[in-house]
Structures are given as C-alpha cells and as structure tokens.
Structure 1
C-alpha cells in the first residue's frame, strides 16, 4: 500500500482493499489540497517536510478528524502532541540516554526482550524487512550471519533502549515496539521525535498502561466496560460473563471484568496497531495526538457498536471473545469509523476527556 504494508491480510482480500482504496485515494488527495490551502492561509510552509502547523481550534480539529495528509502526518502528530515544547524543556536528553545505554545502563532482560521483538515489528512492511538482494549477497558470503538490518530497525532498537533506560518503572514492554516503529515510519526515522512522542503516549495518554503490573491498562478496560454498559446495554449483557461490573458505573463491590476484556487490552496497549487496518490506525492517531486519550475510548465503543448485530447473534462467551478479537481487523472503512466516533447522536462524540478521567479515578 502507500505506506509499504501488504494490502491483503487474513481479514481483508486484495480485491476488498482495492475497491475501498479507489474511493479513499480520492478522499486523501482532496484533503491534501484543503490542507495546503489551510497552511497557506496561516503563512506556513506547505512542502512535505513542514514542521509548523496552525494553532488548535475547532476548525483545525475538523480538519484533523478528516485525516492529516500522509506527507504532513508525523510532524503534525509531533506538533499537536506538544513535542516541540517537550524537546525544548529537555534538550539533549535522547543523546544522553543513548550514551547511558552504551555505558551499560540497560538491563540484560530489557535488552533481550527488545532484540526479540525487533524482527517481529511490521515484518510485512518494506521499510522494516531487508532488501532481498542484500540477503542473497549476505547468505552466499556466510550462511551463519544474520540478515542485514534496515536503518529503521536500527533506529527502533535505539529508541526502545533509550526509553527503557529513561523509564525504569516500565523498561521495555511488548507493544511499545509497534508504537515506536509506526512513529519512526511517519517521522522519517527521526529518533528523537519518536522517543518524545513515545514518552508523551506512555505518560500523558496511557499512564500506567505499560508498567510492570499493567495497572493503567486494567483501569482503562474497566472504564471502557462501564461505557459499554451505559451506551450499549444489549452488548454488555452478552459480554458480562462474570456477574456484573461491581464498582464501575455506579455499582458496588469489587470490579469483575468480563473475559472479553482480555481481547481489548491490546487495543489500548498498542494504540490499535494490529487490531485495526493501518489506515484506520493512522486516523485514530491523528485524533489521539490532537485531542487526547478520549479518542481511544470513542474508537473502542465504535468498534463494539459496529459489531453489535454479530455479538447479539452469538450465544457462547468464547465465540463473542473470538469475534471481538477478529472483527476490527476487517474494518477498512476509516471514514465510517471516525464518523461514528465523533457523531453526538448515534455515536460517541459526547464521551469527554473529563468523563474518562473521572472514571479512571
């Protein structure tokens, strides 16, 4: 596809992808022209490498919700997430952390886990896998040597190592490789910017989610389940195989998360990478970095709403679990998903950051 990922998956055929992409390409081209006009109206550089963007406003929010053009995407994420300010407050931090890594500051366990996951990160993306000609040249020279690494894989190693040294309470956690990898892909392998955005995600948007106990992840899944109970009661009655929410959503007693919550933990931990098709993931990230973590809850609710007819048709909790795992992987229609997210009537536009923070507490 346009980002170097394979078009087809177990859940989407090439024919389905091409049929959807024909219309979506027109959408992307139209939005790119609108963004260029917008940037010019603010006196900003409109070239693909632009690093400054219009200040946040309701108008810009509407533009972001309809998708940031691929050429601007990574730098726009950085800009709207508050990256420049964080970079200015901590100049040289990333370089210092790499020096610490060089001097043995990284624990063996984190180092091993990072190495293990490097080659599992987007193996079907052309930027992450070595050029076949390099492999052939390499294997004829010495069959015992490892495949050569692409520059983006080397960058990913450094970002994850620096992050682990800087955040000992997290270290390295599986799924950070996918977040950092996608950031590098859209930031033209700017490691420092990718590192800063990874910091922002794990501290601001998903506090505690990637910690050793995954406490933040469990809290957020509890919040999601309480939102489902409120807004999709019929779906909730199908999901609730543990006898109620307990302390969430006005009940009392201990919190008992339904079995299906295990399937949704990865949604938050990897920011929907590997859950939704890549174009949907990018559209989710556009809004996440502009609007905050309420976006993730709106998206999760929209997935359950889209799957509602199929969930209600099932009787067995295990079948529901498998459906919730597989259903979002076939959701190609990025515009349709975002529309449900932000509609107030019949959608989830009323799910506010304040409400999420209240329920997290």
Structure 2
C-alpha cells in the first residue's frame, strides 16, 4: 500500500514536471514569436502578411501582446470609421439611455426606419446580455472593470447600425475585442467584423444566405466526415441546430477563451472559411462520441461542448480537415450555390407569370 502511494507520488511528480516543461517551452516560443512580430512583421505588414513564413507563424497563434494589433490590421477598416465617429455615436447612445431612463421613450420618433420600440428593445437586450457575457470572469458584469466599456461599444453600434440593431451574441464578440484592443479600436474592429458578408447574413437573420452557408458547410462535412454526416442525416439533424451559436459568437461562447482567441487568430487570417473549418474540426474531435448519440444528446453535446477541450487536440483536428471538394475550394463551392440560387430565381414560375 505504501509502495503504491509512493509510485503514484512519483508519477504525479513526473506529470507536473512535464507540464512545467511544456509551459516553459510555450512561453519561450511566445517570447521569440513576439520579437519577430514586433520587429519584422508589423513594420512591414503589407509585404509580409501573405508570406509562407508569416502564415505558418500566424497558424501557431498570435502572442497576446500583438494580438489586438494584428486582428485590427487583418480585419481592416473598409468602413473608414474614426475614433471621432465612435465618440459621436457613443454620445447618441448615452442621450438615448438618458432619455429612456427619464421618460421611457425617445425624443426622435423614427430613425432609418427603426421604431422606438425596436431601439428600446435593443438597449434593454444589451443590458441583459452583458450580464451573461463571460460570467465566470466577473469583469463584464455590473460593477466589473469592463462593464461600462462593453455597454458603450454595443450602445454606439446600435446607433451606428440601427438597421442591424443589437442581436444576442454580439456582446461576446465585442467583449473579446475589448480584452485585446483600446475602446475606439475595439469599436472599429467590431463594426468592420460585423460588416463581413457571413456575419451580416447571420446578424440580419438573412435566411436565404444562411441556408447557403449551411449548404456549403454540408458539402465539406460529407467530404471530410462521411460516416458522421450520414449519422446526422439519419436523425435529420441540420447544421442550424449547432452552427448558429458557433458562428454568432465566433466560438467565443462555445470554447474556452484562450482557445477561442486562437481560432480568431486564424479566422482573421483566412476569413469565413475558417469558421466552418473549425466547426468541422470540432465534429472530427468528438466524432466517436457523437456516433454513439441520438438527436437530443447530439444537440445537447454540441450546444455545450466539454470544458477540457485543448488547443493542441482541436487544431490537430482542424489541420486534418480538407477544405476542397472536387477540386473546388470553399469560395468556389459557395459561389456555385449562389449562382444556382440565382438561376433558380430566374426560372421561378412566379417570375414567368
């Protein structure tokens, strides 16, 4: 009995030593990568960003100290938003909060075709959603150091894009950006990110576009994981059941925060394709478990993924996912689906009558 205990103690000591060694190696890698990013890549961003060396370094994960800056550069600012413009929309948001607080109604009757009731609902939803954003961190809830900041960014966005308003899940995206960027920069990245075709389709709940994204996803699902694909089909389990939450929050709600940030790193490099590749990576990681489950248990499992999911295991699975079907890449498959849809619209009996 004493010998067994001693054996366990030695085994635990070896395990701890191995973990410490791996952690030390990881810290060394981050430090050396940071030097390369700061001294070589960022000063020569436009010429170096697409080089093989940078792409490989990017895949390994961005050092936290440069993450925000790289995300900003990669997302870009097609909307030409300035910090001054952010301040203007933040002021409007504050006026509306004050107005709602005092009278329960807003002075302006209508703005961009959005009713007062809709805007009020948006502001109320922001308040509710912030309290549910990364609750275990205790930094975004009322009284927390980032509560007001998150409130400001989301409020300003609803004034900037009243046509989109606030949609549940946006708070997670804004929160991740706030953790990595200064306030105005976080807003600029947030607005530009939500203006990308995939995000706009989901946050505007454009059913037609969402169905095309799901259809493209299923093409690569069947290609990479045929057994699991047919298992899902046998239960009529469609991608919307699990993908919507993943895409809405860019995995920041579904995965541990550090792992979600690593997914964001490559998403900023590869665009929307990587969001769907990550989804397939998750399905591959848990394929054996999912094949044993029925509809209800699969839906429950994918809605709340295991908390012990590691970066190494997930990225190993993502690496094995091939985003090519009959020599067509993601963008080509998606473009074909868009074209087929337009052809279908042209041949619609409604248009011929």
- TM-score, with structure 2 as normaliser: 0.74
Shift of 1:21: 6.8
Which residue does 2:12 correspond to in 1? none
- For 2:255, what is the secondary structure of its paired residue? coil
Give 1:304 shift.
0.9
Aligned counterpart in structure 2 of residue 108 of structure 1, from 107, 112, 120: 120
Name which of 171, 176, 183 aligns with 1:182: 176
Aligned-partner Cα distance in 2 for 1:22–1:217? 45
SS where residue 330 of structure 1 aligns?
coil
Residue in 1 that maps onto 2:64: 70
1:30 aligned partner:
28
Unaligned runs of 5+ in 2: 1-15, 97-107, 109-115, 339-353
Q: How does 1:1-361 map to 2 (within 5 A)?
A: 22=20, 25-39=23-37, 41-42=39-40, 55-83=49-77, 86-87=79-80, 90=82, 92-104=84-96, 107-129=119-141, 149-187=143-181, 190-204=182-196, 205-212=198-205, 216-241=209-234, 258-259=237-238, 261-314=240-293, 316-326=294-304, 328-330=305-307, 332-342=309-319, 346-348=320-322, 350=324, 352-355=329-332, 357-358=334-335, 361=338
Report how far residue 353 of structure 1 moved.
Answer: 4.5
Q: CA deviation at 1:287?
A: 0.6
Q: SS at 2:137's partner residue?
A: coil
Q: How many matched pairs?
A: 298
Measure how far apart 1:23 and its partner are: 6.2
Q: Structure 1, residues 205-262: CA drift from partner, whole Å, max 9, x if none?
A: 523111145654444333222321222111111111466xxxxxxxxxxxxxx35631
CA 1:199/1:323 → structure 2, altered by over 3 Å: closer, same or farther? same
- Quick check: 1:159–1:191 contact (8 Å CA) kept in 2? yes
Displacement after TM superposition at 1:174 (Å): 0.5
For structure 1, the residue ranges without an aligned partner over 5 or more in a row are 1-17, 46-50, 130-147, 244-257
Higher percent of residues as helix: 2
How far does residue 359 in structure 1 lie from its aligned partner after superposition? 5.7
CA contact (8 A) 1:31 1:69 kept: no
Q: Kindly tell me: are residues 102 and 324 of structure 1, through their superposed partners in 2, closer, same or farther at Cα, counting changes over 3 Å?
A: closer
RMSD of aligned Cα (Å) = 3.1
| 2:41–2:54 CA contact under 8 A, matched in 1 | no
2:65 partner SS: coil
TM-score, normalised via structure 1 length: 0.72
Q: Displacement of 1:349 after TM fit?
A: 5.5
Kindly indicate whether the alpha-carbon contact (under 8 Å) linking 2:130 and 2:140 is maintained by their aligned counterparts in 1: no
Larger radius of gyration: 2
SS in 1 for 2:229: helix
